[in-house]
Structures are given as C-alpha cells and as structure tokens.
Amino acid sequence: MLSRTAENLYWTARYLERADSIVRLLEVAYRISLVPNTKEGYDNEWESILSTSGTKNEYLSVYKEIKKEKIELFLLFDDSNSSSVKNCITKARDNIKMVRTAVTLEVWNAVNSFFYNYYDLTKKKYLSKDLPEIIDLVKRNVNLIKGTIINTQLLNDGFDFLILGNYFERADFTARIIDVKYFILLPSTSLIGTQIDNFQWSLMLRSVSSYRAFKWAYGNSEIDYIKIIDFLILNSKCPRSLFFSVEKINYHLKRLKKHYKENKNFSSKIEGLFRKLKKLSVNDILDEGLHEFLSNFIKDISSVYSDLEKKYFLGS
C-alpha cells in the first residue's frame, strides 16, 4: 500500500476519534453547567477542558477570558482552532478523500454525509441551547462510521491503519484527561470522600463515557480513586482504558508485521508497554507517581508512533 494511503487512513480515524473526544468533554462541561452553585469549580472545569484538548494557549490568544459560550464556539466551530470539531471533521474528510478508493463506498458515504451534516450547522448562528443536539450528532456519526468500518472494510492492512489511528488517539487522550485531573485521584488530598470528590470522579468517568460501564464493572460499591485508576488505566474490558488501547495497538501492529511478512520485530516497544501494563497494579502506579506514570506513558506511545511513522509512512 502507498505510504500516504496508510497515513491518510490513520489520520482519518485519528481525527474522527478526536472530534468524538472533544464533544465528550463538552458534554461533561454542559452537565456541570446544569448543576447549581459550582461557580468556583465551574471556571476550573472549563479551563481543564481546554487543557485536555490541548488548546488552552490557542484559546487564550484569541479570546482572553474563560467564558462558556466562547469556549463552546471555539471547540466546535472555530477555524483558528486546529482541533475544533469542525476542523477535525474537515481534516478527516480531506484525508479519506485522498484515499477514496482504499475504503468502501459505505465508509466514504458515512464520512461524507457526516461532513455535510456538520457543515449545515455552521450555516446558522450557534446557540448554547443547541449543544446537546450537536454533541449527539457527532457521537452518533462517529459511531456510525466506526461501525461501518468494522462491518464493511476488508480486513487488510488499510483496516489496521484505521484502527491504529483510532487507538493512538484514544490512548493519548485518555492519558491526558487523567493527567489534567491527576490530583483528584491522589490519596493525599483532604477532600477524599466528600461530595466534591465524588462529583469530580464521576465527571472524569463521564468524560470518557464510562460512568455506566464503571457501575457495571464494580457494582454498586462506592467510587474511590483506586477503582477509577484501575478502571481507566488497567482494566482490560473498559474500551477507554489505556491498557485496552495498548492491547489494540499491539495487536494491529503484529497483524501488519504478519501481513508484510517482516522478520524484524518492529513492535518490541509496544510489546514491552503491553507486558508492563499487564503486570501492573494500582499501587505500582501510585508508587511511581501517577503524574510521572502518565507522562512516561504519553512519551512511550508517541515513540511507538514515531517508529510507525518512520517505518510505514515515510516509505523509503
């Protein structure tokens, strides 16, 4: 397969996942705005959304002040924000458009109509009250596209690159969400067990759409930080956990190796990461330091990406 084709497929999936992540963040913020008397935490929350999406500096250079409507507009539609949902969708479509023939007509149609549906939204003035509807539209479309990929794509190397894009983005994003809020997961805080804590934890779970899943996994027992760390980092069944993403990345890199009949073990770094996570316990993580652990994780993942890029995308 042409190197650029692989790269375009990878980024298509990556941008779609990013659009999805950003609206999930907005969903959490929206939920906060429905809860009364959280003025203080409120601004913080909006700020951390910007941090998590990696756009805080970009935002402040344009808007100067933290303001709900402005942030919404910035994250959804702003052309100057390279990670706005609009830009993510446009880039996803640009990428897939360049490799139209590497995906099924169904997948192309799904991405293309997502683009047009979202584009229609930009034609009218944005009102905050439309937010839930927009969030729903994005989530629905991204899920539709992913389902279409799984249901219609040939399981060839192109498929692997699509899935890889999805999980590299997710691993990175989940790690950053936890990292931005890592302090609320530390045992030393004096707020443990308070209302605020519970509320913060549930927000974190919601931001990765895992609140219900968490309940499924851990029953009705009380939420605590150990369970959350376990769930979001180490749980093999939670599709948002770091372990889950690493396992997927490892699996698809191995498939590529087999597909291309390569002898050299490309995926050693990822294999190491996978083995490490498999053995790890929450206490190990806390011993290393949660923030340290996450920083290292983000570094490791990006170095696996560099190898992937060098090997498959640069093509020479």
Partner 1 sequence: MFNEVINKSNIRMPYNKVFNWAEALPKNIILKKQIQAENLFKKIGVTFSVYNNYDVSERLIPFDMFPRILSSMEWMKIEKGIKQRSIAINAFLNDVYHRAEIIKAKVIPDKLIYNNPAYDIRMVGFNVPKNIYSPIIGTDIIRTNEINFNVLEDNCRTPSGVSYMIENREIMMRMFPELFESLNIEAVDSYPSHLVDILKSLAPKKCKSDPKIVILTPGHLNSAYYEHSFLADLMGVELVQGSDLFVNNNITYMKTTEGPKKIDIIYRRIDDEYLDPLYYKNDSLLGVPGVIDSYKTENVNICSAPGAGLADDKAIYTFMPDIIKFYLGEEPILKNIKTWRCYDKKEFKYVINNLEKLVIKEVHGSGGYGMLIGSKASKKELNIFKNKIKKAPDNFIAQPILELSTVPIFDKASLSERHVDLRPFSLIGHKKFKLVNGALTRVALKKNSLIVNSSQGGGVKDTWVLAD
Residues that bind partner 1 (CB under 8 A): 1-6, 94, 97-98, 100-101, 105, 108-109, 112, 119, 157, 256, 260, 311-316
Nearest to 175 by CA among 12, 277, 291, 35: 291
Nearer to partner 1, 59 or 115 (CB): 115
The residue with tokens 């100057």 is 80
Nearer to partner 1 (CB atom), residue 158 or residue 213? 158
Q: Minimum distance between the CB of residue 198 and partner 1, rounded to whole angstroms? A: 46
Beta carbon of residue 168, minimum distance to partner 1 (angstroms, whole number): 16
Task: Calculate the dihedral angle through the C-alpha atoms of 236, 9, 52, 125, rounding to the nearest 10 degrees.
Answer: -130
Nearer to partner 1, 108 or 293 (CB): 108
Q: Are 102 and 1 in contact (CB under 8 A)?
A: yes
CB 77 within 8 A of CB 86: yes
Task: Find the shortest distance in angstroms from Cβ 172 to partner 1.
Answer: 22
Q: Which is nearer to partner 1, 106 or 224 (CB)?
A: 106
Cβ proximity to partner 1: between 96 and 184 the closer is: 96
Q: Give me the least distance between CB of 262 and partner 1, in Å please.
A: 9
Within its chain, how far is the Cα of 176 from the centroid? 9
**Shortest distance in whole angstroms from residue 61 CB to partner 1:** 24
CA proximity to 88, closest of 173, 205, 180: 173
